Amino acid sequence: MNNNLTVAVVGAGIVGTSCALWLQKKGFSVILIDPEKPGSGTSYGNACTIADYGCVPINSPTIFRRLPGLLFSKESPLSVDPGYALRHLSWQIRFLRNCRKTKVERISRILGKLLKKTYQGLDPLIEFSGSQHLLSQPGCMYVYKNSGEFKNARAANQLRRDQGVEFTELDAGDIHDLEPNIKLPFEKGLLFDKASQVLNPQSLTTSYLDCLLSNQGRYVQQRALSIDHANAAVSVNLDNGEKLHADRVVIAAGAFSGRIMGTGAHRLPLDTERGYHIQYTGLQSLLNRPVCWNAAGFYATPMDEGLRLAGTVEIAGFSEAKNPRILNYLKRKGDEMFDLPEQPDQEWLGFRPTLPDALPAIGYSPYSEYVLFAFGHHHLGLTLAGITGKLIAELINKEEPSHNIKPFNPARFR
Ligand SMILES: Cc1cc2nc3c(=O)[nH]c(=O)nc-3n(C[C@H](O)[C@H](O)[C@H](O)COP(=O)(O)OP(=O)(O)OC[C@H]3O[C@@H](n4cnc5c(N)ncnc54)[C@H](O)[C@@H]3O)c2cc1C
């Protein structure tokens, strides 16, 4: 255990706070830096699922066949701003290259293996921070409206089987018995009966932060602008002109990680898949577990504040306002599934941090031996935050990582 070093973690989303807590457990002095309330970014509004069954990337060999329908239908969970896509063409091309069957199978294998370690990363943090009340294990259900939707998911479900993911197939009667408040008849379903969910993702981040602070960790509410290197250490230049000195820096600023200069993160092809949620306060009792309408691209999740419908993918960068078409789409789909009030109580947009090969960057920056990257967790950040934190802490502690991190090496894009 090395308790002489100070580590600065930039970004207090679920990934940054998980890294910070794992580092503290290993005995490091930790400074967490974020200008915003911890957990209020993308980590706030997700679908709350610990998706250890989620080894199927969004990259798919069928994308080329489905793309016209996905782009031009009003009933599509995918939306692409053509101007933005053209300005960021190289990311789109890299993404599409990773849609080849062999690539998707490779990604799925790598994600599948990492996802098997989900609870090795998560459980110790839940215990350390006393957050047991924020986690439950109700299982998770995927539903398919008709045999066409189910057939389209066959290859993806085979990838899950190949990775040893356990699930039970359901028919319409089973779905009704398990979730009687779903009014649209779904013909087919899958039950991941061991799956867990977080009851409130922001409360989990806050609980990690409270634990960090009560064990002599520090939280600095400032924006990190850049990193300077000097004498086997680094300093983080903050928005207020202050310099924070540290022995190592972990960049965990989600989709914004490339904006912190001097780390090399801006050289990685990091972009964002925007995602949305709408939420109905107090209606959580409509469901017993998270239910994913797979073809419609969203989850309906009962969480402690209400019923949250979360998902969809929009490629449009950071500056565009919320897209009313997608919010209306979620409302329409929600109305098909449940009896809901006319208007939701919350409409939210978040920014998934996504690299074009659907694998996160976990490890040392190729440009500095004092800077580590922990970002790019796309649709799986809540699930993979714990194991990412564990691996980052092992690396800084000079331990042999407990999982093969080569596929996540940030240098793979050089
Ligand atoms: C609709 C939707 C549904 C999802 N559902 C799930 C799910 O069910 N399960 C799952 O596992 N994942 C899910 N995800 C993905 C998951 O939410 C993300 O992968 C995860 O939240 C990313 O966490 P993060 O800590 O990397 O980023 P963020 O939560 O975005 O945190 C980054 C932090 O960095 C801070 N920051 C930015 N710039 C700076 C700077 N210069 N200096 C200091 N701090 C900075 C920000 O303020 C922010 O607090 C979903 C995502 C979306 C959008």
Q: Can you spell out the DSSP letters for 42-73? A: TTTSS--EE-TT----S--TTHHHHHHHHHH-
Q: Ligand 1 pocket, 224 CB below 6 A?
A: yes
Q: Is 289 helix (H, G, I), strand (E, B) or coil?
A: coil
The average pLDDT across 216-243 equals: 95
The average pLDDT across 59-72 equals: 82
pLDDT in tens, 345-366: 999 999 999 999 999 999 999 9
Q: Ligand 1 pocket, 201 CB below 6 A?
A: no
> What pLDDT does residue 2 have?
55
> What pLDDT does residue 346 have?
98
Burial letters for 326-359: b for 16+ Cβ neighbours within 10 Å, e otherwise?
Answer: bbebbbebbeebbebeeebeebbbbbbbbbbbbb
DSSP 152-214: HTHHHHHHHHHTT---EEEEHHHHHHH-TT--SPPSEEEEETT-EEES-HHHHHHHHHHHHHH
Least confident of 69-73, 86-90, 350-354, 401-405: 69-73
| CB 146 within 8 Å of CB 187 | yes
Q: Which of 245, 209, 201 is nearest to 227 (CA)?
A: 245
Q: Which of 242, 256, 259, 309 to mutate to test the pocket of ligand 1 (most atoms within 8 A of CB)?
A: 256
CA of 351 to the centre of ligand 1 (A): 7
pLDDT above 70 (res 1): no
Q: Ligand 1 pocket, 311 CB below 6 A?
A: yes
The average pLDDT across 42-49 equals: 98
The share of the chain scoring above pLDDT 70, in percent, equals 99
Task: Name which residue sits closest to atom 4 of ligand 1, judged by CA.
Answer: 46
Q: Which of 204, 272, 352, 359 to mutate to test the pocket of ligand 1 (most atoms within 8 A of CB)?
A: 352
CA of 281 to the centre of ligand 1 (A): 22
Q: How far is CA 205 from CA 94, 99, 178, 412, in A?
A: 32, 33, 31, 30
The average pLDDT across 85-114 equals: 96
> What pLDDT does residue 67 have?
79
> What pLDDT does residue 355 have?
98
The whole-angstrom separation of Cα 173 and Cα 388 is: 39
The number of the ligand 1 atom at minimal distance from the alpha carbon of 312 is: 1
pLDDT band at 63 (very low <50, low <70, confident <90, very high): confident
Q: Is 19 helix (H, G, I), strand (E, B) or coil?
A: helix
pLDDT in tens, 106-140: 999 999 999 999 999 999 999 999 999 999 999 99
pLDDT band at 3 (very low <50, low <70, confident <90, very high): low
CA of 238 to the centre of ligand 1 (A): 21
Sheet containing 49-50: order of strands: 49-50, 196-198, 135-136
The average pLDDT across 89-98 equals: 95
What is the chain's mean pLDDT, rounded? 96
CA of 384 to the centre of ligand 1 (A): 11
The number of the ligand 1 atom at minimal distance from the alpha carbon of 348 is: 1
Q: Is 247 helix (H, G, I), strand (E, B) or coil?
A: coil
Q: Give the domains, in start order, of the chain with CATH numbers.
A: 6-43+202-269+358-413 (3.50.50.60), 57-101+134-195+270-354 (3.30.9.10)
DSSP secondary structure letter of residue 273: E
Residues 6+ apart with CB under 8 A from 62: 152, 155
pLDDT in tens, 173-202: 999 999 999 999 999 999 999 999 999 999
> What pLDDT does residue 309 have?
98
The average pLDDT across 85-94 equals: 94
pLDDT in tens, 300-318: 999 999 999 999 999 999 9
Beta bridge partners of 362: 374
The number of the ligand 1 atom at minimal distance from the alpha carbon of 375 is: 26
pLDDT band at 74 (very low <50, low <70, confident <90, very high): confident
Burial class (CB in 10 A: 0-12, 13-18, 19+), 240: exposed
pLDDT above 90 (res 70): no
The number of the ligand 1 atom at minimal distance from the alpha carbon of 40 is: 49
The neighbour count for residue 300, using CB atoms within 10 Å, is 30
**Which secondary-structure segment (H or E) carries 237?**
strand 233-238
pLDDT in tens, 257-315: 999 999 999 999 999 999 999 999 999 999 999 999 999 999 999 999 999 999 999 99
Q: Ligand 1 pocket, 227 CB below 6 A?
A: no
Beta strands in 243-358 (DSSP E): 243-246, 248-251, 271-281, 291-293, 298-303, 306-315, 346-354
The average pLDDT across 378-402 equals: 98
Beta bridge partners of 236: 227, 244
The average pLDDT across 321-342 equals: 97
> What pLDDT does residue 206 have?
98
pLDDT in tens, 371-386: 999 999 999 999 999 9
Q: How far is CA 270 from CA 231, 266, 398, in A?
A: 30, 8, 27
The number of the ligand 1 atom at minimal distance from the alpha carbon of 259 is: 41
Q: Which of 238, 315, 379 to mutate to test the pocket of ligand 1 (most atoms within 8 A of CB)?
A: 379
